[in-house]
Amino acid sequence: MELHMETMAASIGVSVPVLRFLLCFVATIPVSFLWRVFPGRLLKHVYAAFSGVLLSYLSFGVSSNLLFLVPMLLGYAAMVLYRPKCGVITFFLSFGYLIGCHVYYMSGDAWKEGGIDATGALMVLTLKVISCAINYNDGLLKEEDLREAQKKNRLIKLPSLIEYLGYCLCCGSHFAGPVFEMKDYLEWTEGNGIWAHSDKGPSPSPYGATLRAIVQAAICMAVYLYLVPYYPLSRFSEPIYQEWGFWRRLSFQYMSGFTARWKYYFIWSISEASIIISGLGFSGWTESSPPKPKWDRAKNVDILGVELAKSSVVLPLVWNIQVSTWLRHYVYERLITKGKKPGFFQLLATQTVSAVWHGLYPGYMLFFVQSALMIAGSRVIYRWEQTIPTNLGLLKKALVFINFSYTLMVLNYSAVGFLVLNLQDSVGLYGSVYYVGTIVPITLILLGYIIPAKPARSKARKEQ
């Protein structure tokens, strides 16, 4: 069996542990489908938890479930013992534990060398545990003091232990996400909310949307396997890279980031398929006539939205969508002082939390600081664009194109740190293109103060 696994792994160019993970990860699709056949709430919760435990064991070994048990128990204990502060307690304890695991396992090095461990799944589990505790904490607050997302997701009643375990490990959804809310999980299991019988028709069939996600996953993997031999990360450390000129180096950095993204597109397409086929991916009906089902709850990426983004500001809305949503609801919005507008501090703090969540490698830190600069610079271009009167349409289109080009250049420049992780290598590769992706955003931010954007006034307004 092991020899057969080695042959299979060698044929697709991955290690045996990665192949084992991929097989279990793809298995989440039939495992999630089988959830539908179990009658009653209790059996569904038990199956969701047990299937998650089994898939974790087959993927990473018995130690993985012990690794996952710690944050789950910490979060549940905080909710039981001290509800008024359970959200804050769980946030810091879970993140502290995750940081400790990042330091101990140094997973980034293993991933670069073709290995894999349970830390990636722990990252997803951490977000689920924290959101559950915070929403249970929000259940104590007055409804008029809450934002819309808080009103929607807050928990009035403590979930039972089996409900909690089913939510955390649901059919292997902790492998790569998407992150979803405890309240949605409970309503889905109980057949309430949007999963209740609707006058718009019977429960929608998930099979068409599942097939679309599987086909998308196959295409993404094919593109990745085609591109990766031409744009390997090892090229950055080869002498030939240093012999290239500026434009060739910059274009290789662009293609390296572009190539790496298709791996994530594949992973998220598979996770989307597994959540959709279970029924949890259903997110309501369209307003069209006749109404059509929407399957956005499991969507973690809009591929064209990323590759053709007109502005850096939209990237968090189309890349790792569910984690971006989590960061917005549980970090960004909660740092905004009531009655005040958010600023660069909230953006930088959110990106820093995201960096720590990914791991303590300097490359991650550089990438997310770069991301904050990139978004701030893109906002300056957008504000300038909004000042252009409608009769200067060509100039407005030119600024739109500049923002698009700026986003592509800075995104893929910044992604180098995310890919190589090491501080010396990251800074060296940024320096190989003269830090263009750092200097340009900072210049734009400074120009935003020197040339402030003033809304274009109509001719009639001027005459008044």
pLDDT tens sequence across 364-421 = 989 989 998 999 999 999 999 888 887 888 988 999 999 999 999 999 999 999 999 8
Parallel/antiparallel/unpaired status of strands 293-294 and 284-285: antiparallel
Q: Where is pLDDT greater, at 200 or 45? A: 45
d(CA 331, CA 335): 6
Residue 112: Cβ-neighbour burial (10 angstroms; 0-12, 13-18, 19+): middle
H helix runs in 158-245, sequence order? 161-169, 182-190, 207-227, 239-243
Mean pLDDT of 20-31: 92
**Which pLDDT score, from 0 to 100, does residue 462 have?**
38
Residue of 216, 397, 356, 395 lying closest to 298 (CA atoms): 216
d(CA 316, CA 119): 23
CA dist list (Å): 50 to 63, 75, 180, 184, 239: 16, 19, 19, 20, 51
- Number of other residues whose CB lies within 10 A of the CB of residue 454: 10
Confidence of residue 456 (pLDDT cuts 50, 70, 90): low
Residue of 343, 340, 345, 347 lying closest to 315 (CA atoms): 347
Confidence of residue 458 (pLDDT cuts 50, 70, 90): very low
Mean pLDDT of 55-83: 94
CA dist list (Å): 261 to 124, 360, 410, 415: 19, 21, 15, 10
**Which pLDDT score, from 0 to 100, does residue 459 have?**
39
**Which pLDDT score, from 0 to 100, does residue 345 have?**
87
Average pLDDT, the chain: 89
List, in order, residues 6 or more apart from 185 with CB less than 8 Å away: 163, 166, 167, 170, 280
Assess contact for 99 and 360: CB atoms under 8 A: yes
**Prior bond of 71 cis (ω within 30°):** no
Q: Where is pLDDT greater, at 76 or 385? A: 76
Does residue 329 have an active-site annotation? no
Mean pLDDT of 106-129: 81
**Which pLDDT score, from 0 to 100, does residue 124 have?**
95
Confidence of residue 104 (pLDDT cuts 50, 70, 90): confident
Residue 290: Cβ-neighbour burial (10 angstroms; 0-12, 13-18, 19+): exposed
pLDDT, tens only, 333-376 = 999 887 788 888 888 889 889 989 988 889 998 998 999 899 99
Assess contact for 98 and 71: CB atoms under 8 A: yes
Confidence of residue 261 (pLDDT cuts 50, 70, 90): very high
Assess contact for 93 and 140: CB atoms under 8 A: no
Mean pLDDT of 300-307: 94
Q: Which of 45, 174, 329, 358 is catalytic?
A: 358
Q: Where is pLDDT greater, at 372 or 459? A: 372
**Which pLDDT score, from 0 to 100, does residue 433 have?**
96
Confidence of residue 464 (pLDDT cuts 50, 70, 90): very low
**Which pLDDT score, from 0 to 100, does residue 287 have?**
82
Q: Looking at the predicted structure, is the pLDDT value of residue 198 above 70?
A: no
Compute the 3-state secondary structure of the chain and give helix, strand, coil in percent, each to the nearest 5: 75, 0, 25
**Which pLDDT score, from 0 to 100, does residue 177 have?**
82
pLDDT, tens only, 45-64 = 999 999 999 999 999 988 88
Mean pLDDT of 131-135: 97
Q: Looking at the predicted structure, is the pLDDT value of residue 115 above 70?
A: no
Assess contact for 184 and 191: CB atoms under 8 A: no
**Which pLDDT score, from 0 to 100, does residue 308 have?**
94
CA dist list (Å): 446 to 380, 439, 449, 452: 9, 11, 5, 10
Tell me 285's DSSP state.
E
pLDDT, tens only, 163-172 = 999 999 998 8
**Which pLDDT score, from 0 to 100, does residue 1 have?**
55
